[in-house]
Amino acid sequence: MNAQTEARVDVPLEAGSADQRRPDPCALVIFGASGDLTHRKLIPALYALEFRGLLPESFAVVGVARTQNSTEAWREEMRAAVTEFGRDEMRDDVWKRLAAGMHYVSTDFSSEGGETEVMKLLEQLDKERGTRGNRVYYLAVPPAVISTVVDKLGERRHPSGWVRLIVEKPFGHDLASAKVLNEDIVSNFQEQEIFRIDHYLGKETVQNVLAFRFANGIFEPIWNRRYVDSVQITVAESLGIEDRAGFYEQAGAIRDVVQNHVLQLLALTAMEPPADFEADAVRNEKVKVVRAIAPPDPGYVVRGQYGPGEVDGKKVPGYRHEPGVAPDSETETYVALKVFVDNWRWAGTPFYLRTGKHLSSRATTIVIMFRPAPHPPFLEIAGEGLRPNLIVIQVQPDEGISMRIGAKVPGQGMTIQPVNLSFQYDRAFHVHLPEAYEKLILDAMLGDATLFTRIDEVEAQWSFVDSVVAQWQGSAPDFPNYAAGTPGPKAADALMARDDRLWCR
């Protein structure tokens, strides 16, 4: 009996995983296997799935990269990565099962015959591991490499097995490049075989936006322009660009975060109820929202770039002094904007969006601000304590949802004070939330595309981003305009002040 078919040791299953069906036997091929994403996220996610008995009984992992390495050395590197970045304890029996099917191939797909060794290994694994010709190709590589890889993979399809292609963001650099990239991919793969990944959609709290809205009858009737004053979506990061200058100089905050994460959160917040929760029904409603976002007024768009400052008690350099960044770079590390969703539900309701690097804290939130209660009889008595109700969906960290209501302070008089009603996932369900990549990799193996982005949604996202970037052409920004470790540019506060509003801190 080989390591793959050994009896599994039972482990406590997390809520909801007991009825998970296992994917068909398959091989997962990771292109970019020597990269940071593989170390920090992908292999730890696979270990977590194996830990819970959710991987196929017949399964293999093939790491592919140009970096010279051996299978044994790569396995040891991945074990260290799981120990450092995984959410579960390192158990020898679990690692033994996973590692038995792990292989590494050093090759360059852009060279003649660069794919040959990979294909030979996959055929060998079909026989030895019983993977049946089923393939999941994970492209954790730069966009410039994707076309070369998919062309080779398209030429060497297995005659009987199924195939799924996972493509990491960014999917292109703008609308034109996204269309070209998609043409290259669909010439080799069908749309239902393509899984464009945005890891934010794998987060439990993001998925819970749908459950919160559509499974609770008290919220959906007031989730519209009649009752909602405004919506704020924030993706704030305390980290800088790390070692990603080569990528970030070409992307900036609007392409790195707004094009995908922020617009995904907006779409989930604003979408209509789908007919069901099948992949296309959900994605159809999301696309409608993104297409309905009007290009923002130039006066309500703020871009920023961080200068020197202090984060978590440590002095950090400004963006222009980061390694690999041009000393006169005009790349934005912060974006704030006010947009409208031009449809029946949301007409006239402003959505305020912001994201930035090296801010004062790390937080991703969706804030639904409701209109004040009409003509409350104790308005004069309550004074400043009478604030609008709001709902805060905390995506990260400390995942949960809270509501702000007004309550009477004990004692004489009608003194009102805001109080919070809240729940947090870890306290409510007594489990550690699974990492986003666990859910997304498993869904791709199962062929469930609900949490992946369809091409028409990608194109709608890029169309919006292109409309914003076009406004910046020919104008030289006054950078840097905020210090690292602060909430962002003062112009972002002024944007809100013009509407007599404040950012929720």
Q: Measuring CA to CA, which residue among 339, 336, 368, 377 is closest to residue 354?
A: 336
Residue 29's DSSP bridge partners are 62, 137
| Residue of 103, 173, 199, 261 marked catalytic | 261
Distance CA 282, CA 132 (A): 31
Distance CA 355, CA 265 (A): 12
Q: Are 105 and 121 in contact (CB under 8 A)?
A: yes
What's the token pair of residue 415? 């003194």
Distance CA 133, CA 161 (A): 4
CB within 8 Å of 412: residues ≥ 6 apart: none
Distance CA 418, CA 354 (A): 25
Q: Measuring CA to CA, which residue among 236, 189, 436 is closest to residue 334?
A: 236
**Which residue do the tokens 């006010």 mark?**
338
DSSP string, 220-231: GGGSSTTTEEEE
What's the token pair of residue 17? 């995983």
What's the token pair of residue 357? 């690097």
Exposed / middle / buried, residue 410 (Cβ in 10 Å: 0-12, 13-18, 19+): exposed
Question: What is the torsional sign of CA 421, 426, 427, 428?
Answer: positive
Q: How far is CA 163 from CA 153, 156, 292, in A?
A: 10, 11, 34
261 catalytic? Reply is yes
Characterise 348 by phi-psi region: left (phi > 0), alpha (psi -120 to 50), beta (else): left
Long-range contacts of residues 115-120, Cβ cutoff 8 Å, at least 24 apart: 115/152, 115/153, 115/156, 118/29, 118/62, 118/64, 119/156
Residue 42's DSSP bridge partners are none
Distance of CA 169 to the CA centre of its chain: 9
Write the single-letter amino acid at 23: P
Write the single-letter amino acid at 124: Q
Phi then psi for residue 440, to 5 deg, are -70, -40
Q: Measuring CA to CA, which residue among 430, 426, 357 is closest to residue 397?
A: 426
What's the token pair of residue 422? 């809240």
Question: What is the torsional sign of CA 77, 81, 83, 88?
Answer: negative
Neighbours of 489 (CB within 10 A): 25
**Which residue do the tokens 């699974």 mark?**
434
Q: Which residues are identified as catalytic? A: 261
